[in-house]
Amino acid sequence: MTGTVSRSQSGRRGRDRQRLLDSLVGGATEIVQVVANEVAPGVVGAIDIDDVVQRVDIQSIVDKVDVESVVDRVDVGAIVDKVDVQGLVERVDIQAVMDRVDVQGLLERVDLNAVVDKLDVDQLLERMDVNRVLGRVDIDSLLADADLDALLARLDVQSLVDRLDIEQIVAKVDINAVLQRVDIDALIERTEVGALIARSGSAVMAQTVDVLRSQGVGLDGFVHRWVDRLLRRDPSATPGGPPVLLGGGEP
Amino acid sequence: MTTSYLSSASNPGLQGHYAGVVTRAVSFGIDILLIVGGFALGGTVAEYVLSALFGGDVRLAEAPLVSALLLAAWAVFYMAYPLSVAGRTLGMGIVGVRAVRADGRDLDQRHAVVRVLVLPLSFLLFCFGFVLIVLRRDRRALHDLIAGTVVVYAWDARAARLRFLLKR
């Protein structure tokens, strides 16, 4: 009997303790929530996001990422479909990003053929203003960093070209703007226009002489044929030329 | 060795065959033009130089005998020198013929000079010497008979024909 009374008393004490703890924790949570609500905006406002971004070592992050496995797991087509590529491209300072990335190291780690296979290049190009993108990229510095030979050796260029709609790309390129950047004078200086003209001139001269000579030979035959006819000579008895020149005798 | 009538289309390989009268007449005409033109140009230069050297106004036209002798000398040199060196004058080279000895060997100096010196004889008797080109089967003129020479085609008509066909 005594055991039964003591067990019910200890159970009541435990429930009281639990109720006390719950009320304490609830109060503390409310206090912390109030403090956080008061402090957080000030802390966030005090952080310089740009400074934080500048302190991030993008290269080390890129180095740690297993790019290959990430690429394998990504449905590039679905992502491209969802992204406003043109808007994204316009908001990014491509040159600054390029300056901070080890292009060569990144390219060596990527299976370009796998990426290209999963990408609908034509659809991507349809949504992009190629001229504006090209205008914002410093192609010279980009090319200076990349080992083009190694890159091309790993790329199945033929399959890529087969999938491109060249006509569509050319139609989107401002040829006049490109030509305005070409130094035509320097280009002409490097060609052999003079030699070409001289060669074509000599060819025309040779052709003209050939025609005149052929006409002369034809008239020779005409005249001698009529003379033989008038003199009743046998044309087959006409000697062709000196024996030495026709291979009939020794000089 | 015999052959049928000349025809650049049916028989394009005419190198070494006797040249016909039309081709030879054209080459002779070109040579005459070059001789006269060269003499006129050289005479003008000579008159200018002589006038500068001796003063006054020197004119070759005022000395017709000297002018004729100079013209004859120039004509002989113009024809004999290239004939002895290359077997052809400039006019013959343009139309594609050359002079050789009767048996086909190359001309030497003696044959070349004799051929040029007796050339005027072909003009005698209303150019009867040149008519022989038409009448004789080997198409030799009087001066060719005297000098022991013949004129043959020297251009590769077959190659010219092939070039023509390739361009079509």
**pLDDT tens digits, one per residue of B75-99:** 999 999 999 999 999 999 999 999 9
**pLDDT tens digits, one per residue of A165-176:** 878 888 877 877
H helix intervals, chain A: 2-46, 49-55, 58-64, 67-73, 76-82, 85-91, 94-100, 103-109, 112-118, 121-126, 130-136, 139-145, 148-154, 157-163, 166-172, 175-180, 184-190, 193-230
The pair of structure tokens assigned to B15 is: 């190198």
The predicted structure's pLDDT at residue A85:
65
Q: How confident is the model at residue A5 (pLDDT cuts 50, 70, 90)?
A: low
**DSSP structure string for A79-147:** HHHHS-HHHHHHHS-HHHHHHHS-HHHHHHHS-HHHHHHH--HHHHHHTS-HHHHHHHS-HHHHHHHS-
- ipTM, two decimals, is 0.80
Interchain proximity A239–B163, CB inside 8 Å: no
Please name the residues in contact with A4: beta carbons below 8 A apart, sequence gap of 6 or more: none
Which chain A residue lies closest to B162 (C-alpha atoms)? A210
The closest CB to that of A245, out of B16, B94, B164, belongs to B16
Residue B7 above 50 pLDDT?
Answer: no
What residues in A contact B23, CB-CB < 8 Å? 213, 216-217, 219-220
| Window from A8-22, B58-72, B93-107 with minimum mean pLDDT | A8-22
Q: State the average pLDDT over residues B91-115.
A: 92
The predicted structure's pLDDT at residue A83:
67
Interchain proximity A214–B157, CB inside 8 Å: yes
pTM of whole model > 0.90?
A: no
The predicted structure's pLDDT at residue A53:
66
- Answer for the pair A84, A129: CB distance below 8 angstroms, yes or no: no
**Can you tell me the distance from the alpha carbon of B5 to that of A239, in angstroms, rounded to the nearest whole number?**
10
**Can you tell me the distance from the alpha carbon of B129 to that of B28, in angstroms, rounded to the nearest whole number?**
14
**pLDDT tens digits, one per residue of B133-145:** 999 988 999 999 9
Select the highest-mean-pLDDT range: A70-74, A136-140, A230-234, B65-69. Answer: B65-69
Phi, psi (degrees; rounded to nearest 5) at A65: -80, 135
| Window from A225-234, B6-15, B16-25, B120-129 with minimum mean pLDDT | B6-15
% of chain A beyond a pLDDT of 90: 1
- Answer for the pair B91, B97: CB distance below 8 angstroms, yes or no: no
Which chain A residue lies closest to B159 (C-alpha atoms)? A210
Q: State the average pLDDT over residues A14-19.
A: 81
Higher pLDDT pick, B31 / A217: B31
What residues in B contact A227, CB-CB < 8 Å? 134-135
The predicted structure's pLDDT at residue B160:
64
| C-alpha closest to that of B167 among A211, A61, A239, A57 | A211
- Answer for the pair B149, B141: CB distance below 8 angstroms, yes or no: no
Residue B167 above 70 pLDDT?
Answer: no
The predicted structure's pLDDT at residue B25:
94
Please name the residues in contact with B4: beta carbons below 8 A apart, sequence gap of 6 or more: A235, A236, A238, B10, B11
